[in-house]
Amino acid sequence: MKTLAITIGVFRNQVYAYRLRQAEERVRLELGLKGSGGWDWRPWKEGALEEMRMLYQTLQSYDRGRWLKTE
């Protein structure tokens, strides 16, 4: 799978992230929390590229955390 975009932030001392990952024609939006053992990623939604890109941008627009990194 190829990572298309990722946003990493901090909210209430919890490091979190969401990313778009592409496998062939399907794109998946995944949510992750950083724990002591590394990242725990969970798939959230899957669909076409344009649909998932719009959802990712909507998520960013409502995000209230302090961003550490966006790509």
Q: Where are the domains of the chain?
A: 2-64
Q: What is the pTM of this model?
A: 0.82
Mean pLDDT within 30-57: 94
Would you state the pLDDT for residue 69? 66
- Please check the confidence at residue 64 and state whether its pLDDT lies above 80: no
Would you state the pLDDT for residue 71? 60
Burial class (CB within 10 angstroms; exposed 0-12, middle 13-18, buried 19+) of 61: exposed
Give the CA dihedral 44, 32, 71, 57, nearest 10 degrees: 40
Q: How confident is the model at residue 12 (pLDDT cuts 50, 70, 90)?
A: confident
